Structure 1
Amino acid sequence: MLSRPASKSSRYICKACRSAINASRKRKFGTNSITSNPTSDDIYDVVTVGGGPVGLALLAALKTSPSTSHLKCLLVESQSLAKQKSWSLPPDAYSNRASSITPTNQSFLEAIEAWRHLDLTRVQPYDEMQVWDAGNAASIQFDWSAEAIKYNAPLRTVATMVENSNLSRGLLRRIEDVGAEESMMSGWNVKGIGNGIDDPEGCNLSTWPVLELQQIGSEGSQNTKQIATRLLIGADGINSPVRTFAGINTNGWDYGRHGVVATLQVESSSDPASPFQNSVSNDDFDSALEDFLSDDPKSSSSSSQPNFENITPSNRATAFQRFLPALGGPIAILPLPNNHASLVWSTTPQIASYLKSLSPSAFTATVNAALRLEQVDIQYLFSLPTTISEPNNTSPHESELTWRLQHTKSTPPSRSPPWITALQPNTIASFPLRLRNATSYIAPRIALAGDAAHTIHPLAGQGLNLGLGDAECLSRTIRYAVEHGMDIGDLMALQGYSGERYAAAVRVSTGVDLLNKVYQIGSGDGLVGSLLGAARGLGMRAVGMVPGVREAIMRTVD
């Protein structure tokens, strides 16, 4: 129903939109009120707060597209982007902050010409993932190479492991490549956000966000700056000031779990016993598959399967994930180049604290135990002292692991995880696990992206992928608005972004949360716990046996 505003000169607008506009005029973050509008030089089309991979990807996408490259954009980041741009590690060292980038997001990064700016010698694709349950014998194998053979399709990866700093540096290089270095301000904090004013002698910015910025390490008004923007994007993390300014609440809960991350060294793939011995290069795999599909009788055999006898190990790899219900969550080993791996272990705060207190050798032994021993044996290791008291500087964890492996049924080769040989120094860290989802991703002249909009359990490694999906969709939404003469900050122009990304985030976060809850079932002792654990195992086997279910899960994750 239409209602008439008090002002006779105002147009008829719907009641809901009028309420949103009136609310936007009252928005404020910080303590200072806006008393004047910025100068014309400080009025922007798009301002993004947050210089992580999501914010950088959005800026790179806007500046790459011919339709939006003319927009006056600014990215504001409190940390040093120059330091991020010069990030470098030795070839035998890797950051403990690494993410699995899905093929869809890799295609997006390739489309905006950022992927080629990454150090590709430091990325690791994998096309197989082994998942199994420590509480029973159930397991699932996600393997795209098997699907490629089955349907004569091109080989694809499950995901590609990329260090977050490598990704950020590549995006910064792409932004520099398109000549948009001046579209970034690093070392500046958002001191406050409010709405501009209706200046009778200038612009009416009464519904436009105005940001008060202060340079890090400075005091006084000489190092402050005021900017206004047609569209303000919050890519500023879980405690987003932009979201607070927009008056958008979040729903969710804390899991009471911590994620422990570290960078590990694994046994060499040249070792015949190495699980990476089964990995093959893309070229060799394609050659074997081509020979198998060829009509030339000389190049094909009578076998019903391709001949992989001459394929040698290369940059193909496998990810491993073992669910440990009795220990609070799963442990995952994700492959990195040069016989390295990224550890993500979801567990209780007490176990996380214990793990961080261990010596490198004890930590390595505990990770190997978590991948191989029964849960009761792993629990015993957590009762051992953290200090080394054994002869020859051997930790009790190493001694116990050696003895218990001799009395433990060996892991089936189909899901044999790599043997961890060492811990990279100074890479153990932990963080609390939370589920958060904003009640809305948009408000008048506001859009949220990345962790500012949603935070999920790292179980499926989809946090950064959701954020990159936000950047792709938001850049596409802005491009559409520009091409059709729309106001890019108008709610109508942003509705498509909100609908698409809210549905995607709810689908992924709900699925991951449900999967996490399923794997907490049967973690207790007694008959009920055993029955529930057995039921969970039957469910996992069903997923692995029913045709098309695994493939549907893999495509949904992508």
Structure 2
Amino acid sequence: MPLTKQLTVAIIDSNPALGRKDCFKKDDPPDPRVSTVTPATISFFKDAGAWQYVQQHRHAYFDRMQVWDYTGLGYTRYNARDVDKEVLGCVVENKVLLRSLLSCLQNTDFQKTIYPSMLTSMTLSPSLSSMGVDGTSSGTTMPTCGGLAKLELNDGNSLYAKLVVGADGSKSRVRELAGFKTTGWKYSQNGVICTVEHAVENQCAWQRFLPSGPIALLPIGDKFSNIVWTMDPKESSDCKSMSEDDFVNAVNHALDHGYGPHPQSQLFGGGNILSWFRPDVTSSSSECFEVPPKVVKLASERMAFPLSLRHANQYASRRVVLIGDAAHTVHPLAGQGVNLGFGDASALSRVIAESVAVGSDIGEVHLLKKYEADRKPANIAMMALLDGFQKAYSVDFGPLNVLRAAAFHGAQYISPLKRNIISYASGEQRLPLFS
């Protein structure tokens, strides 16, 4: 931002990717670690000047999404045109997002230094009488500054900062050193991710709720898709160890007729679920259930990781603020975790710019609490929604199955609700309220 380009920024990150210029080849297989970025996140990348770099590499926009469950009672389809948009989102490999942000950083004219190190300690310094121009300790005398954060790195460097942004993930060292407490729990589920290949290009995002958790099939371009499959730990271990052919068969089984029938209009007492909402509507071919494209090949290693929900009780204190997974981790069933993080970054950058505009100290707690007040309700709402979905599908019970099916059909055929769900998921409004 014009107001913040004069700030001196230090990035402390031991990720070796920050120190090299990766060259992605067109025929390289996709990385199994991907993110589904929403239109709001895409806009943030464009504003920062980073989206042009994403477009130079493999990525896949999608304008349709189908969600259904294993009971065969209900499904819903979302289309970008329902909210007068061109796309619902874009699936991008994490390495491409990282490289695009780094390219943007390197090509932007502001003072920055990358330290390929780890943070070992962080304290609030009561005063500072000598500090180098790059923020490291030195013999250069500068005006005394009170209450800066002092950072000690494992390479021996010491840095002083007006503001420390903890963007260091779910096991945040910044959060630990700053003494922020968290609330949360572990799910008795693992996530299995991998890249698969089709005979035809996939252009839709698919998600099916199974008895042990959802499976998602996300397009990533060039006839490849990404699998995100939630299951219990024993199943995830079996999925990782089974042969490639058996795994491909298991994926196709889970995305097609396995565990239950395909959704269709279900009769209940002479009417169907659809008629409860819109008696005058019959399902058009564009809204009919579709079977996802068959997977023909496994195209990457299979990775598994435990799932959890965790939320920092506070995001900010004097000189320190948390964003992204350092502040909150969510269930991956809707792919919203990374978008919440970029929403944090966008909100924090605005607050910092406002502070610079009026000449305030960017590390003052009252300023950082404005950021917290902005983001905390939105993050909690999304976390509660995703946790509710996870719990609703952890029980297989007849009456509950019917209620879930009714909710699916409501999302499909009640137009205002459908538009608000799409707008909420794309990051364009806070809560799915009727408007």
Q: 1:507 aligns with which of 366, 381, 405?
A: 381
- What is the rounded CA distance, in whole Å, between the counterparts of 1:448 and 1:371 in structure 2? 38
Partner of residue 231, structure 2: 347
Q: CA deviation at 1:206?
A: 6.0
Partner of residue 431, structure 2: none
Gaps of 5+ in 1: 1-64, 216-223, 270-275, 277-316, 378-411, 523-528
Partner of residue 125, structure 1: 61
Q: 2:2 aligns with which of 50, 60, 66?
A: 66
Structure with the larger helix share: 1
Task: Report the 3-state secondary structure (helix = DSSP H, G, I; strand = E; otherwise coil) of the residue aligned with 1:208.
Answer: strand
Partner of residue 175, structure 1: 105
Partner of residue 463, structure 1: 337
Deviations 1:74-114 (A, max 9, x none): 11101224455315244351011111111111011111111
Aligned pairs for 1:136-215 (under 5 A) are: 136-145=72-81, 147=82, 153=84, 155-180=85-110, 183-198=112-127, 207-215=147-155
Partner of residue 309, structure 2: 435
Contact 1:195 1:206 in 2 (8 A): no
Q: 1:233 aligns with which of 147, 165, 174?
A: 165
- TM-score norm. by structure 2 comes to 0.85
Partner of residue 43, structure 1: none
Query: Which one has the largest radius of gyration?
Result: 1
Aligned pairs for 1:108-507 (under 5 A) are: 108-145=44-81, 147=82, 153=84, 155-180=85-110, 183-198=112-127, 207-215=147-155, 224-269=156-201, 276=202, 317-325=203-211, 328-375=212-259, 414-425=289-300, 427-507=301-381
Q: CA deviation at 1:499?
A: 0.7
Task: Report the 3-state secondary structure (helix = DSSP H, G, I; strand = E; otherwise coil) of the residue aligned with 2:372.
Answer: helix
Q: 1:98 to 1:453 in 2, by over 3 A?
A: same
Task: Report the 3-state secondary structure (helix = DSSP H, G, I; strand = E; otherwise coil) of the residue aligned with 1:440.
Answer: coil
Structure with the larger strand share: 2
Q: CA deviation at 1:413?
A: 6.3
Q: 1:89 to 1:530 in 2, by over 3 A?
A: farther
Q: CA deviation at 1:516?
A: 1.4
- What is the rounded CA distance, in whole Å, between the counterparts of 1:468 and 1:451 in structure 2? 10
Q: Match for 2:187: what amino acid?
A: Y
- What is the rounded CA distance, in whole Å, between the counterparts of 2:115 and 2:160 in structure 1? 17
- What is the rounded CA distance, in whole Å, between the counterparts of 1:232 and 1:121 in structure 2? 32
Q: CA deviation at 1:200?
A: 7.9
- What is the rounded CA distance, in whole Å, between the counterparts of 1:492 and 1:109 in structure 2? 28
- What is the rounded CA distance, in whole Å, between the counterparts of 1:333 and 1:323 in structure 2? 12
Task: Report the 3-state secondary structure (helix = DSSP H, G, I; strand = E; otherwise coil) of the residue aligned with 2:150.
Answer: strand
Contact 2:71 2:260 in 1 (8 A): no
- TM-score norm. by structure 1 comes to 0.67
- What is the rounded CA distance, in whole Å, between the counterparts of 1:259 and 1:127 in structure 2? 25
Contact 1:262 1:343 in 2 (8 A): yes
Q: 1:115 to 1:345 in 2, by over 3 A?
A: same
Residue 106 in 1 paired to residue 38 in 2? no
Task: Report the 3-state secondary structure (helix = DSSP H, G, I; strand = E; otherwise coil) of the residue aligned with 1:332.
Answer: strand
Partner of residue 137, structure 2: none
Q: CA deviation at 1:373?
A: 2.5
Contact 1:320 1:417 in 2 (8 A): yes
Q: CA deviation at 1:543?
A: 2.4
Partner of residue 531, structure 1: 399
Partner of residue 400, structure 1: none
Contact 1:122 1:336 in 2 (8 A): yes
Contact 2:196 2:226 in 1 (8 A): yes
Q: 1:336 to 1:373 in 2, by over 3 A?
A: same
Q: Match for 1:208: what amino acid?
A: L
Contact 1:521 1:536 in 2 (8 A): no
Q: 1:518 aligns with which of 392, 399, 413?
A: 392
Q: 1:80 to 1:263 in 2, by over 3 A?
A: same
Deviates more, 1:469-478 or 1:88-97: 88-97
- What is the rounded CA distance, in whole Å, between the counterparts of 1:435 and 1:138 in structure 2? 27
Q: Number of residue pairs matched? A: 390
- What is the rounded CA distance, in whole Å, between the counterparts of 2:368 and 2:38 in structure 1? 25
Q: Match for 2:233: what amino acid?
A: P
Q: CA deviation at 1:320?
A: 0.6
Q: Match for 2:64: what amino acid?
A: E
Deviations 1:359-397 (A, max 9, x none): 1111111100111133279xxxxxxxxxxxxxxxxxxxx
Contact 1:196 1:205 in 2 (8 A): no
Q: CA deviation at 1:415?
A: 2.2
Q: CA deviation at 1:488?
A: 0.4
Deviations 1:426-483 (A, max 9, x none): x210111110110011001111001100000001100110111111111111000000
Gaps of 5+ in 2: 131-141, 262-286, 427-435
Equivalent pairs: percent with the same residue?
A: 31
Partner of residue 425, structure 2: 557
Q: 1:543 aligns with which of 401, 411, 418?
A: 411
Residue 78 in 1 paired to residue 14 in 2? yes
- What is the rounded CA distance, in whole Å, between the counterparts of 2:26 and 2:298 in structure 1? 16
Q: 1:260 to 1:89 in 2, by over 3 A?
A: farther
- What is the rounded CA distance, in whole Å, between the counterparts of 2:337 and 2:353 in structure 1? 25
Q: CA deviation at 1:121?
A: 4.4
Q: CA deviation at 1:137?
A: 2.6
Partner of residue 298, structure 1: none
